Amino acid sequence: MGDLGGGSGRYFIATPLSYFWYPIGFTLPSIMSNPAITLSHISKVYANGTIALTDFNLDIGEGQFISLVGPSGCGKSTVLRMIAGLGKMSAGSIDWKLEPRKLAFVFQEAALMPWATVQDNVRLPLKLAGVSKRAASSVVAEAIALVGLQGFEGAYPRELSGGMKMRVSIARALVTQPEILLMDEPFGALDEMTRSQLNSDVLDLWLHKRWTVVFVTHNIYEAVYLSNRVIVMASRPGRVIADVAIAAPYPRTADFRSSDLYNTYCQKISHALAHVPPAAANL
Amino acid sequence: MNSRLKVPMLRQGLIRQLLSPDLLAPVLVGILMLGAWELGVRISGIPPYLLPGPILVWQTLIKDWGELFPSLLITVQITIVAFIAAVVSGLLVAILFAQSKWIERSFFPYAVILQTTPIVAIAPLIIIWVRQAVPGESSTFVSLVICAWLVAFFPILSNTILGLNSADHSLLNLFQLYRSSRWQTLIYLRLPSALPYFLGGLRISGGLALIGAVVAEFVAGTGGTQSGIAYQILISSFNLQIPRMFAALLMTTVLGVAIFAGLTLLSDTLLRNWHESAVKQEN
């Protein structure tokens, strides 16, 4: 049993997924697309006086893969929580162009119910929506297959490795057919091998599903590899210091990680993080 | 897949458990102690009305079984009824308290007072009151059940409240995100999260219900057909039938251990698949 957790990457082979992007071809999901969500002048001050976010503005385009990068305390997770409607904003507004708001959230930790099997964990959003077990079964099976966890339907979370738990978490996000996927440092606790495997799997899924993704990370390399747009943030108070478009075509292969273009973007972002302009004087 | 792996492991584990030092060592110590006790009693010539040897206690137990066992059954009845009442009321009150911080704030101190009032001190009062309300044969039974319930109620209440409030924060957010109703969150998240705590409370309360029943029987001190094992202990001490007293004491202790073992088994069975406390892991 202990062996199940061994190498999650091995159980998930990218090839079954890869056929999804051949029909799509090498199209570049447009960067300048219709805005799906507009965040205007958002501020968040916590009860203890911490200014998590100040005057945050962001147009999230339909189909974009946006990463929020920054040091801890820059409010990047707060942005996600505000979009998800978890917690109140102190000021500002969020304008939704997409209705109904079909969004899914993937948390930093897998946040699985330890008493439920993989199947039951994945089915949870449908169960809460009142979908019967029978009606949900095919959607659940499809989601589990998409993240490469066939054969583990009956396993409990404690029998899975960290990477596999994240896959369950992603499968759970898939079952409601979301249009917007919010991911809060989902792979932060994983080892490098598992992380890069999951990164390319998430990209495959994104190309297949045409989601809008907002991805929070403190890892610059991950952000550049995944996104077509990287928002660089600074802390105290939380604010945007750079908005970098990553103009590299999809699908991005392992070669992209060693390309000059990739390195240029990484350097550009780390330079921005190292030379933070002072916050506006009126704060 | 997992159950197939587990079955032979469990069977092997049972044999190993019976031969394990965890069981062998205390059994060996027990046998040595009993031997030393018997030997000491015989050599020193202590009269049996001060300290009987274990062999005499055993003989008395067999000889008086016909009188002692029916009394034990009365105590078992009181304990079980009080325990079930404590489980049901503890669980329901805990769920009620978890609905609002205000309810918990307002009523929890009184639950504490209920717990900290010594049962010996209020048992006579309860017996008098119940005699007014429920005349006749069943009056003693009811008052003893109330006393035992008072003792057993609190651990279940406080443990279950703790459990209901310790649901994983990300999961709570997830439930909120999928617009889970209060009822759904309770059934699918809070109650399963509370299960290990609830079961921990159950193990404490099982023993306490027995203690409560025995203490209340001492206070009630009534004979007749409704007399429990504590009454036999009391009468034996009045009549200087010390071996009989020991025999009755032994029965009470075995009953207490059996209750604890039964509830531990229940707890391990319910939590086997997911909770750390019940998961056996090799390092």
Task: Give the start-to-end residue ranges of the domains of chain B.
Answer: 1-45, 50-278
Chain B residues 168-187 with a CB less than 8 Å from chain A: 168, 170-171, 173-180, 184
Confidence label for B223 from pLDDT (cuts 50, 70 and 90): low
Question: Where residue A19 falls among pLDDT bands split at 50, 70, 90?
Answer: very low
The stretch A32-49 carries a mean pLDDT of 82
**Higher per-residue confidence, B13 vs A182:** A182
Distance, in Å, from the CA atom of B181 to the CA atom of A164, rounded to the nearest integer, reads: 29
| Chain B residues within 8 A of A154 when measuring between CB atoms | 1-2
Whether residues A173 and A183 share a domain: the answer is no
Residue A49 dihedral angles phi and psi, to the nearest 5°: 95, -5
Q: Name which of B152-166, B236-250, B264-278 the model is least confident about.
A: B264-278
pLDDT score, position A20? 40
**Neighboring chain A residues of B179 at a CB cutoff of 8 Å:** 128
Number of domains in chain A: 2
Q: Report pLDDT digits (tens) over A56-109.
A: 888 888 889 999 998 888 888 889 989 988 888 888 888 888 666 788 999 988
Query: Above 80 in pLDDT, residue B6?
Result: no
Lowest-pLDDT choice from A5-14, A113-122, A266-275, B145-154:
A5-14
The per-residue pLDDT of chain B, averaged, comes to 88
What integer is the mean pLDDT of A176-203?
88
- A-B Cβ pairs (cutoff 8 Å, strict): 62
The partner residue sitting opposite B2, judged by closest CB among A1, A81, A85, is A1
Residue A182 identity (one-letter amino acid): L
Do A60 and A152 lie in one domain? The reply is: no
Instruction: Reduce the DSSP state of residue A39 to 3 states and report it.
Output: strand
> Does B279 sit within 8 Å of A159, measured CB to CB?
no
Residues A121 and A228 both lie in one domain: no
Name chain B contacts of A122, Cβ cutoff 8 Å.
none
Is A5 domain-assigned? no
For residues A153 and A237, membership in a common domain is answered with no
Concatenating the DSSP letter of every residue in A210-278 gives T-EEEEEES-HHHHHHH-SEEEEEETTTTEEEEEEE---PSSP-HHHHTSHHHHHHHHHHHHHHHSPPP
- Kindly state whether residues A94 and A186 are assigned to the same domain: yes
Q: In this predicted structure, what is the pLDDT of residue A18? A: 39
**3-state class (DSSP) for residue B159:** helix
CATH classification for the domain delimited by B50-278, as one of 2.60.120.260, 1.20.1050.10, 3.40.50.970, 1.10.3720.10: 1.10.3720.10
Q: Counting every residue, how long is chain B?
A: 283
Element (H, E) at A61: strand A51-61
ipTM: 0.81
Question: What burial class does residue A192 get, using C-beta atoms within 10 Å of its C-beta: 0-12 exposed, 13-18 middle, 19+ buried?
Answer: exposed
Is the pLDDT higher at B198 or at A101?
Answer: B198
Q: Indicate the pLDDT class of residue A177, thresholds 50, 70 and 90.
A: confident
Domain of residue A196 covers 35-102+179-275
For residues A174 and A143, the answer to whether their CB atoms sit within 8 Å is: yes
> Residue A7 above 70 pLDDT?
no
Tell me the whole-structure pTM to 2 decimals: 0.81
Long-range pairs for B42-50: beta carbons < 8 A, 24 or more residues apart: B48/B242, B48/B243, B49/B240, B49/B241, B49/B242, B50/B242
CB contact under 8 A, B178 and A125: yes
pLDDT of residue A12: 38
Looking at the predicted structure, is the pLDDT value of residue A30 above 50?
no
- Say if the Cβ atoms of A158 and B171 lie within 8 Å: no
> Residue B8: pLDDT above 90?
no
Nearest to A36 by CA among A72, A75, A65, A4: A65
Residue of A nearest to B196 (CA): A115
Average pLDDT, chain A: 82
Position B280 scores a pLDDT of: 64
The answer to whether residues A198 and A267 belong to one domain is: yes
Residues A140 and A265 in one domain: no
Residue B170 and residue A107: Cβ atoms within 8 Å?
Answer: yes
Least confident of A37-46, A90-99, B90-99: A90-99
**Residues found in chain A:** 283
- Confidence band (pLDDT; 50, 70, 90) for A45? confident
A158 and A263, same domain (yes or no): no
A32 pLDDT higher than 60: no
C-alpha A75: how far from chain center = 16
Nearest CB partner across the interface for B279, out of A86, A116, A158: A158
B173 and A155 within 8 Å at the Cβ level: the answer is: no
* Residues B240-263 pLDDT 10s: 999 999 999 999 999 999 999 999
pLDDT of B66: 92
> Are both A232 and A153 inside the same structural domain?
no
In this structure, is residue A15 part of a structural domain? no
Q: Which CATH number characterizes residue A268's domain?
A: 3.40.50.300
What integer pLDDT is reported at residue A242 of this predicted model? Answer: 87
Asked whether the predicted pLDDT for residue B100 surpasses 90, the reply is no
CA separation for the pair A159, A161 (Å, rounded): 7
Q: How many Å lie between the alpha carbon of B84 and the closest alpha carbon of chain A?
A: 25
pLDDT band at B12 (very low <50, low <70, confident <90, very high): low
The partner residue sitting opposite B171, judged by closest CB among A103, A113, A151, is A113
Q: In chain A, which residues have their Cβ closer than 8 Å to the Cβ of B275?
A: 114-115
Domain membership of residue A78 (yes or no) is yes
Q: Which of A107, A129, A155 sits opposite B178 (nearest CB)?
A: A129
The verdict on B5 touching A (C-beta cutoff 8 Å) is yes
Same domain, A77 and A172: no
Interface contact B2-A155, CB threshold 8 A? yes
Is residue A74 assigned to a domain? yes
In a domain, A280, yes or no: no
A237 cis-preceded (ω within 30 degrees of 0): yes
Q: How far apart are alpha carbons B74 and B144 in whole angstroms? A: 11
Residue B185 has pLDDT above 90, yes or no: yes
pLDDT > 90: what percent of chain A? 30
One domain, residues A186 and A257:
yes
Query: Among A196, A198, A165, A169, which Cα is nearest to A182's?
Result: A169
Please state the φ and ψ torsions of residue A248, each to the nearest 5 degrees. -120, 140
Q: How many CA atoms lie within 13 A of B142 on its CB side?
A: 14
Q: What pLDDT is stored for residue B73 in this prediction? A: 94
pLDDT exceeds cutoff 70 at B264: yes
pLDDT in tens, A224-267: 999 999 999 988 788 888 888 888 888 888 888 888 888 888 99
pLDDT at residue number B282: 54
Mutate to test the interface with B, among A115, A117, A174, A177 (most CBs of B within 10 A): A115
> Residue A141: is its pLDDT beyond 70?
yes
Question: Same domain for A96 and A186?
Answer: yes
pLDDT at residue A282 is higher than 70: no
CA gap A277, A234 in Å, rounded: 9
| A14 has pLDDT over 50 | no
Give the pLDDT score at B131. Answer: 87
Contact A113 B192 (CB under 8 A): yes
Residue A4 belongs to some domain of the structure? no
Q: Are strands A35-45 and A229-234 parallel, antiparallel or unpaired?
A: unpaired
- Name the interface residues of A facing B (CB cutoff 8 Å): 1-2, 81, 84-86, 103-105, 107-109, 111, 113-116, 124-125, 127-129, 151, 154-159, 176
